[in-house]
Chain A
Amino acid sequence: MTTAPAAPLMRMLLAQTRSELLMRWRVPAFSVTNLALPIVFFTFFGLPVAHIVRGGVSIGAYLLASFGAYAVGNVMVYGFGIGVANERGMKIDRLMRASPLPPLVFMLAKVVTALVFSLVALVLLIGFGIVVGGIHQTPVVWATIITRLLAGSLPFIALGFAIGYWSGPNAAPALANLIYLPLSFASGLFVPLNQLPVFIQNLAPYLPSYHYAQLAWSALGAGREPLGVSLVWLGGYTVLFLALAVRSYRREERAKFV
């Protein structure tokens, strides 16, 4: 026998990622919510105050960073939460399980796809802010914001997986909204924290999206804590959400495949 015993993993990953990108792009529930919603929100909450500069910080840039954090978290929580729950509902997992595709490559393709969508969402949002809102920062600042938001998105990937494995296809969208929207609001992503009620200001420093947004805000000199502190919080939340995701995944495994 001269053929290789198995297909190269890289070829599998590329093909899988290509299909995931196509699938996401063709489902408006993903593509529109992922790419357009942050711009719509920024138009309402950000554009009217984009020209204001307070304490040396451009409010427009600050809100672009906020909605950028919202946008990436959105791609992760919704994409994985609803995506995984839907695939379980359609029993795609059974066919995939029987194929030679390793589960890890299957998941990795989803992560790469989500990162690509996040990058596109950020470029569109920031481009919109620059062109329509006339907001200026150096390219290095924009690049720092984008890089940090992509690299720091791990806890939201884990949260998405946890929702996707824990809930069914009908409950997942509701659950994702119930968790992610209040989380974003209470972390000051829609309206700056100092304009929110005091009890929310007190609550915010315990939320993952608050520390996530710090990664972007601090790139503008508007951070409220050292970078290391944000990373420790995000790491802790990643562990917590991953533990929840693994628990639900294992429960599913036992029911379906053991």
Chain B
Amino acid sequence: MACAPLVAHNLGAMASVVELRGARKRFGQIEAVKGVDLTIGAGEMVALLGPNGAGKTTSISLMLGLRRPTAGEALLFGLHPEDRRARSRCGVMLQESGTTGVLTVAEIVDLFRAYYPSPLPTGRAIALAGLDAKVNARIGTLSGGERQRLYFALAVCGDPEALFLDEPTVGMDVEARRGVLESIRALSKAGKTIVLTTHYLEEADQLAHRIVVIDHGVVIADATPREIKARIPSKRINFSSETALGESTFSGLAVQSLEIRDGRVHLLSNEPEAVLRGLFERGVVVRDLEVTGAALEEAFLSMTRRA
């Protein structure tokens, strides 16, 4: 294995980290991913954002070769995703994966280090995950959040070039979450490619340089956090009006989804204050006003409709 891989390795260095080309994945009757084209280059920090069941985990599984595309193609570092040379450059943290309970934290981190060509020191990997206090604890005694941090340690211990983190902060308390997000940022600054999934817009916004919004198995947006935030309505406004209102009343206002039902108006907007000011200026009498945060699901729904 000494000389042949060197060529492919160099080729791999030039290729993008992730390449999905028209990737589709069908499970029986359900098509979870419906033709995704996505290229992620070295050093990028990308968040796959979408509601539960949108196809984020399936997309990551395709990138990593944990699932084979029904149609289209997936490449990892320019290689087949199951190629050991590609895998050796990736650290992963998956949902719905487990590990033995009877080894200690240090023992299992040591084990995973052996899978990689030039791993980090054990203590360093454990520190990045904030598990220093649990080095010699049996895995079976860890809490849910600590276990999640252990998976993070296993993902980073090989000092891989790319990290794939599927919902990395699920089940963590506020402090653990902040620590792990801090580590992710530091790794990104150090030049690592990071692909993470989340269904929290704030998390994607805090971390990523690029947000890929996935819903119903298709990419509905791929842009910077600033652009995405402008397009994803963050507030829901509901009110009743004495006078009958038509859609024309709202023309020119920053409204992203509008529904008028039984004299009650339901709308989504990023600038609720501006919308209300506009309505007042137009002499609309507003009653029973509610302004609430929009759920990501309904926000995505409005984006998909417009797409």
Contacts and interface: CB of A to CB of B under 8 A. Distances in A.
A1 interface: yes
Contact of A98 (B1, B64, B113, B118): B64
A56 interface: no
B114 interface: yes
A19 B97 contact: no
Contacts of A91: 96-98
Contacts of B88: 5-7, 100
B222 interface: no
A198 interface: no
A248 B123 CA distance: 40
Contacts of B90: 98, 100
Interface of A is mostly: helix
B116 A7 contact: yes
Interface in B7-21: 8-10, 13
Contacts of A100: 84, 87-88, 90, 115-116, 158
Contacts of B206: none
Interface of B: 1, 5-6, 8-10, 13, 64, 66-68, 84-85, 87-88, 90, 92, 94, 96-100, 102-103, 107-108, 110-118, 151, 154, 158, 164
Interface of A: 1, 3-7, 11-12, 14-16, 18-19, 22-23, 26-27, 87, 90-92, 94-95, 97-102, 257-258
A6 B10 contact: no
Given A5-B85, A15-B113, A98-B164, 14 more contacts: A5-B9, A5-B117, A7-B114, A12-B114, A22-B103, A22-B107, A91-B97, A92-B98, A92-B100, A94-B96, A94-B97, A95-B98, A98-B87, A99-B115
B154 A95 contact: yes
Contacts of B6: 5
Contacts of A26: 102
Contacts of B85: 5-6
Contacts of B107: 19, 22
A26 B139 CA distance: 13
Contacts of A18: 111
A5 to B, nearest CB: 4
Contacts of A14: 114
Contact of A99 (B8, B87, B117): B87
A102 B114 contact: no
A16 B111 contact: yes
Contacts of A5: 1, 5-6, 8-9, 85, 88, 117
A198 to B, nearest CB: 47
A94 B94 contact: yes
A157 B150 CA distance: 32
16 contacts: A3-B118, A5-B6, A6-B84, A7-B116, A12-B115, A14-B114, A22-B103, A23-B100, A23-B102, A27-B102, A92-B99, A95-B97, A99-B112, A100-B90, A257-B67, A257-B68
B137 to A, nearest CB: 14
Nearest to A97: B66
A258 B111 contact: no
Nearest to B81: A98
Contacts of A102: 84
B43 to A, nearest CB: 15
B294 to A, nearest CB: 34
B103 A23 contact: yes
A257 B118 contact: no
